Structure 1
Amino acid sequence: MHGFLLTRHNRDSNDGLVLDYWLATDDGAVCLQVQQAQRVCFIAVKQQQLVTSILQKLPYAPQHWQLKPVSLKCFSGDHALAIYVSGEAVWRDVRQRLQAQGVELMEADIRPEERFLMERYITGAMQLDTVPQGRINQRFALVTDAKAKTSSYKPQLRCLSLDIETTMDGRSIHSIALYGMHDAQAVRKVWLHWPFPQPAENLPDYTQVVPNERQMLRQFVTWLEDYDPDVFMGWSLVQFDFRILCQRARDLGVRLRLG
């Protein structure tokens, strides 16, 4: 199965660190889960004794960390050792304790979900050695612990351009506008917050007039769930549009399901 990477995350679970990769495929959205993943960083062999003494004093079971030799060298020419840590919470504690004792941690800034891709030369498209077994809630399919490798797959992504208009202080949203292309047809949708008694006039037929922000946000979310875009586009989209939408949704008690 071929897919194109949209987002990636890591999270702690009862069984350890899990990597989540959301893919666009010809058959819809797929979530690839890599379970029992580990954080990895490297140290010089000369610091092995110090690191071992620090790790042995940690309040965690031994299986939460491992120190293993690898066929790598530091820039100084010294041989390197790899530290494998299970779980983000444990990793934060390990990193803080080691750095407090002057241990130089190499590649400690590389997140596990990024390392998984880097080690397989995956930059966007990937191929999995299995196929999903059914779909969850009819919205996406789940694949666990599949082998992944780079691919030349080119998806047909469903993209949407998003723009909002607000008051100067950003405490109220005047309108939400969307534009995209689907099956060679333009997709246009605008929600206009219109709290005035007189009706709004001379509006395009793709404009929906709503009396308050809460209703506007609810209609926006419902429409997005049905259209199911793969990619959002816009100017200062994360820093402004998404930030304001999330803030107003929290203020008004609307669950904003954007991904």
Structure 2
Amino acid sequence: MILLLDVGNTRLKWGLREGGQWLAQGAFAHDEAWTFDAVLPPPGRIDGVCGASVVSPELRQRVADALAAWGHAPQWLTPTRSCCGVRNSYVNPAQLGADRWAALIGAHAHGAAPCLVVTAGTATTIDVLDAEGVFRGGLIAPGVDLMRRALAGNTAQLPLADGGIVDLPTCTADAIMMGCLHAQAGAIERMYRQVAGLPGASCLLNGGAAAQIAPLLDVPLRLIDNLVLDGVAVVQAQGCFR
């Protein structure tokens, strides 16, 4: 049994996998207790820990400390020029975020290429994967909540409030929410033009804001939960952690 991790900017997502199947998945926010003893099998039953991380060394150490009782130091994914059928076109492959790399590998394993791979989290990443499994490039933008907080923190009259999902907002909270969501959808649809003319092209959307953004998109769409964990699982299964 393997514990797989996706350590993002605001949450740690985890999954237990055995024999090519997910046994359980869950998440902890960084500002809450990581009660692994309540969700994981007892020490001795986990054979290894592998993950993708975009956080500081200090937060990685917090992960290692929280899992020390299980006896395995986490192995962290490092983006390379190629892995598991995906090739990396970044000028410096190691500078690509490990979460983006894992999501691309997960998308390829789902048989989704050519596609646009979108993770809508603290940041929104929008990446192009062609039919040959080549990551051609992509964008990084502030996520929905970051956009909302930026407006509240840098303007005198716009509050940080929960807005509703409406077609034509008639109050400020709704206007902010829909403005941020449409900004996300617009960036995704513009980038989708890069693959729109290719046979079988689609957009794979995952992340915490995926369910809010999805109804606004006018592109062929697949919602896939935990695409980063799927990619980490592929890399682990093929023995490519180092």
Length-normalised TM-score, structure 2: 0.26
More helix by share: 2
Greater relative contact order (Cα < 8 A, sep 6+): 2
More strand by share: 1
